[in-house]
Structure 1
Amino acid sequence: MKPLQKIDKKAVGLALETYQGQKAYIHAEVIPGGFLRNISVQIIQTYIAGDGPYRIALRTENEGWIRMENLTDYEIDEQGRLLIAGHDDQGRIMTAFELSLKPFLFGEEV
């Protein structure tokens, strides 16, 4: 896996847009806290905002919203999944958000 790169707002915005109008699977974590895995949603609209750290929002069918904040880095992996993460000033991961068109496999590293 290649290292994450600092968020390029335009590149991440375009990557998010590729999920609009599609059923996608979400993996999200907040550390410390909890996580969601293989939550499937129909994505209607996507947003990225801020000047760093960033926040993203997805509008889903049936008036739903998903929002993540304090995001700093991203990558698109070899399977085409979009990973967006937030690291603190010491480099520790605090939030993670991943989108995929296929379910995440049990035991698969995210």
Structure 2
Amino acid sequence: MKCDPFLKMEISGANENERQIVYNEKELLLLRWYKLMNPIAKSAVQSALDHFLNRDVYLHLETTNGAYAVHKQESTMTVGAYIRNGRICFGRGVITGEGPYRVGLKMEIGWVYAEGLTDFEIDQAGRLLLAGHDQEGRLAVALELSFTPFDL
């Protein structure tokens, strides 16, 4: 059994497909989200970004080194940023890099940018979910787009 300090849950199993959650409902959703994600396929992500062009969309963007940094070294500063259900409209969306990837969304008066992305999913609701996981599978960055607000 190991404990992921960011998700505050215990995970068991020899590999990713055997992981089981033994914590709460919110973290079950986070683990489910992680397990469904696939390594980024640039062409698929670019097509998904194009689908959201020039339309009002809801944005979820977060970055964190959170508990990881503090857990490994007490003197390390914890940093993070978070926005959920920010409504934006972008006229250009681009994925670049060779992995980890970067996504930039060009709005009329600025940019939204996420770097370090490794995985993606297009869920049943048509939302684009992008995430960057470190070598241990912990979330470091997430960028999500949806035509409807995300659950709070």
Is the shorter-chain TM-score for this pair beyond 0.5, marking a shared fold?
A: yes
* Larger strand fraction of residues: 1
| Distance (Å, rounded) in 2 between the aligned partners of 1:59 and 1:3 | 28
Secondary structure of residue in 2 paired with 1:105: coil
**Letter aligned with residue 3 of structure 1:** L
| Distance (Å, rounded) in 2 between the aligned partners of 1:105 and 1:87 | 22
| Distance (Å, rounded) in 1 between the aligned partners of 2:93 and 2:127 | 15
Residue 20, structure 1, aligned to residue 53, structure 2 = yes
- The answer for unaligned runs of 5 or more in structure 2 is 1-31, 67-79
| Distance (Å, rounded) in 2 between the aligned partners of 1:90 and 1:82 | 23
Offset at 1:34?
A: 2.5
- Higher RCO (Cα < 8 Å, 6 or more apart): 1
- The answer for unaligned runs of 5 or more in structure 1 is none
Percent identity between the two aligned chains: 44
1:6-85 correspondence to structure 2 within 5 Å: 6-31=39-64, 32=66, 33-61=80-108, 63-85=109-131
After superposition, what is the alpha-carbon deviation per residue over 1:21-66, rounded to whole angstroms, capped at 9, x for unaligned?
11111001101312101100111110000000000000112x2100
Offset at 1:105?
A: 2.6
**Letter aligned with residue 75 of structure 1:** E
Report which of the two structures shows the higher radius of gyration computed on alpha carbons. Answer: 2
Q: What stretches of structure 1 move > 2 A for 4+ residues in a row?
A: none
**Letter aligned with residue 112 of structure 2:** I
| Distance (Å, rounded) in 2 between the aligned partners of 1:47 and 1:76 | 16
After superposition, what is the alpha-carbon deviation per residue over 1:59-106, rounded to whole angstroms, capped at 9, x for unaligned?
112x21000000000001111100000011111110011000111132
What RMSD, in angstroms, separates the aligned Cα atoms of the two structures?
1.1
The size of the alignment, in residue pairs, is 105
| Distance (Å, rounded) in 2 between the aligned partners of 1:68 and 1:75 | 16
TM-score by length of 1: 0.91
**Letter aligned with residue 94 of structure 2:** Y
**Letter aligned with residue 101 of structure 1:** F
Secondary structure of residue in 1 paired with 2:89: strand
